[in-house]
Chains A and B, each alone.
Chain A
Amino acid sequence: MISPSSTRPKPLVSSIIAPGQTFESIGGTIADIAFTHPMRRRWWVAFAFSLALVGVLGAALLWLFIEGVGVWGNNIPVTWALDIVAYDWWIGVASGGLLVSALFQLLGAEWRSALNRITETVSLIAAAAAAVYPIIHLGRPWFFYWNLPYPNTLLLWPQVRSPLFWDAVDILSFLVVALAFWYIGMIPDFATLRDRAIARIAKKDDKGLLRAQLYGIVALGWRGSALHWHRWTQAYRIIAMLGVVLVVSLQTGAAVMFAGSVEPGWHDTLLPVAYLFAAIFSGVAFIAVATVLLRAIFGLSALITPRHLDVLAKLLLILGLLNLYCNATEFFATALGGDAYDAGVMHRRMVGSQAWAFWTIALASLLPVHLFWFAAIRRSSLALFVVGLLVALGLFADHFMVIVVTLQHDFLPSAAHPYTTSIWDIATFIGSIGLFLALMLLAMRYLPLVSIVEMKRLAQSVHGRRP
């Protein structure tokens, strides 16, 4: 529960919501996006573009299923390339989003209200984009269920010590937790949309009976009873806590999966923490980009204020510093650690055939966040948008560097083999971005992407007790 407003300094809180916002105006502003569909043409152009990219994904997958994973340019020893890179990147974005929104929820920071729904949605949709990969990267994807422990005539078990099994459990758990967290927050907002849709029908503004019925069904008949709210608040908080546990398990588990091999460069004891920080970094970068876009497209500057941009920029700066620390510590530990193979991998990361990845990390994700030392830049939508995209790109390069540079040359020179990415590999990845964008645009169109309930609670605590 939000603590009473009287204990909070007034200038701070009043900058996180524009003055004069009432319960009615908040509900109206957010619900109108779902009902009246502003910026219709721009939305359709963006949606058509995203659908075209989804078509690219379809074509790439079709060719993949006909020809096999060889079309990706994966070879021996680089058996993992963009498939795992993209999966790790997407699940990192999803993890970061879930962790940040869960912490928003648990810490009850007042400025979170306008952001937590975007955060949850980015997290869920990124997980959906990630969920494409574990199945398609199997050589025979139609046997994906061989990963699961089910009774079979051969009396075989899946190898439960294998990261492949862990990943199957992890992604399933992530989808369930993220979906529960996202949906539980959405139920009261669906009820608001249902009631506004009915009111619009009564006023003859609208013929949207089907819409009212659909929102009514997904609202589960929510009526806002005091005991319901009590249980809802409890359940929301508990699922948030479970989300934090899951993200920590998932990202540190990813480091354990790497450490389970003998390959050089994957064994630093800092890596579990480094992966967690990298995931949060990419998650916040995505949230920043999505927030700026949503604010610009739907004109939500009364609800998403420059202070929110400022908070996101500060988060990016802090996470950039944490990631810099992890990278630097890994570098020094390797340089001073005395393992020649680890040192060799570190050397190839910086000057080898895939050195672009290392320099992309440095120049795109670690360097630009330092612009946010300046207050004026922190409040600029454009700066946040550009830096967010750069950070996301840099962290993609991070996953690429960690996986490919180690794999293509581990111990024996005779086992080394160069790797080049194929056009189909890139097409699959671009297609997964298209899938993310298409689902995101649908969510922006039909769902309240700013939480109506949270904004009303905020208005209640900021503008005194009268709504």
Chain B
Amino acid sequence: MSAKHASPAPLYAVSAEFASPEAVLAAARALRGQNLGRLDIHSPVPLDGAIEALGLAPRAIPQMMAVGACIVGFAAMMGLCIYATAYDYVFNIGGRPLISWPAFMVPSVSFATLLGAAAVFLNMTFLNRLPLLNHPAFNIPNFERATQDRFFLTVEPRHDVFDPVAVERALARLALRAVAVHRVPR
């Protein structure tokens, strides 16, 4: 384990590099209750149980966005068709009903999925603050392997009081030890 000391720049986080998903999840569980800072995991694949291990409770925003956008999309297209045929440009042929809604179902359902997919995608990028081409996480040494085969646990300062030494001690007490621990500048 190597630790850099007395880094003059303000810290982004203390990072610990692990070789396996079990190790990083165990480390997250161990550090979670100690109120050391904000925990995050960077991994090449989505890890089952990572959210629970970090003690995060994300809300079901994407689901609500999807349902909301689909309802809006459906209503908008159906409303457009009804407004066009029954109110703004009435052109009745053969006494057929003006609001012939079955004929408007196909574009309405399609448009609902269009708005739903666009909303869910944009919502994902917005909540994740992407695109963000530079981020302090990229200062972590060896971080390019976060998309290959390494798992990184970061402890970021959450309050004004942040003790990197305490984080490093907590990391040193782990049963499955980190491959490397670094103080990462902003």
Contacts and interface: CB of A to CB of B under 8 A. Distances in A.
B7 interface: no
Interface string B115-135: 011101101110110111111
A47 interface: no
A23 B63 CA distance: 31
A199 B121 contact: no
Contacts, number: 210
A238 B46 contact: no
Interface residues of A, number: 72
Contacts of A466: 20, 22
Given A173-B110, A181-B117, A195-B148, A227 B45 contact: no
Interface in B21-70: 21-22, 40-48, 50-51, 54, 56, 58, 62-63, 66, 70
A242 B70 contact: yes
Interface in A150-177: 155-158, 160-161, 165-166, 169-170, 172-174, 176-177
A337 B147 CA distance: 61
Given A216-B133, A225-B42, A22 B149 contact: yes
Given A195-B148, A227-B128, A229-B43, A161 B107 contact: no
Contact of B107 (A169, A222, A242): A169
A138 interface: no
A453 B22 CA distance: 18
A180 B121 contact: yes
Interface residues of B, number: 65
Interface of A: 1-2, 4, 22-24, 27, 149, 155-158, 160-161, 165-166, 169-170, 172-174, 176-177, 180-181, 183-184, 188, 191-192, 194-196, 198-199, 216-217, 220-235, 238-239, 242-243, 245-246, 249-250, 253, 256-257, 260, 453, 456-457, 460, 465-467
30 contacts: A169-B107, A173-B114, A174-B110, A176-B117, A177-B113, A177-B114, A180-B120, A181-B117, A195-B146, A222-B130, A223-B42, A223-B138, A223-B146, A225-B40, A225-B41, A226-B51, A227-B40, A230-B50, A232-B46, A232-B128, A243-B113, A245-B113, A246-B114, A249-B113, A256-B106, A257-B106, A453-B44, A453-B46, A456-B44, A460-B21
